Amino acid sequence: MSERLNERRIDPAKWARAGQRLEGVVDLAVLPRLTALLTSSDGVVTVNLQFGVDRDGQPAIVGEVTATLQTTCQRCLEKMQLDVGAAVSLGIVLSPEQAQQLSAAYEPLIVGEDPVSIAALVEDELILALPIVAVHPPAECGVGDRVVAEDAVEPAPDETTDRRGKKGKKNPFEVLKTLREGR
């Protein structure tokens, strides 16, 4: 059984210097910002993180967090499962100035004297990994045949032919002319 990391707090810089590895799960129910975006708070996030110091002496965290989330398809508005995984590559820094000097290979994790919550770290990474719009794959979507392919709709003609056979731009007010002639 995997270790529950719900309440776990660590000093990332100390863990990086020691080369520690962190594996376990975090319950979705303890991630309020993430669960506010979901239809259910049931489930867990699998955490696999390696702490260390890279060749340049930069303390870092690399690994991944994965979860199966319950959300709503924005195309058909039915419930759906969404598999989300986030590759974690964080450089541990002490200030915003150090964050600006950080290698492009890392996102900054600015730490202070207080321990860092694993749940908060995991929550941030998963929120950033969510798609902008969650939708089923087309074959699984409840909308099905009701969706009309863009290329199946004929575009409205841009030109029209008047009574004299002269081609010109279609006049959007042409219908008003027929109303006037009907009087």
pLDDT of res. 89: 97
pTM above 0.85, yes or no: no
In this prediction, what percent of the chain has a pLDDT beyond 90?
A: 70
Domain residue limits, the chain:
9-129
Report the helix count and the strand count for the chain, using DSSP H and E. Answer: 5, 9
pLDDT of res. 162: 56
What would the pLDDT profile of 9-41 be if each residue is shown by its tens digit? 999 999 999 999 999 999 999 999 999 999 999
Beta-carbon count within 10 A of 116 CB? 19
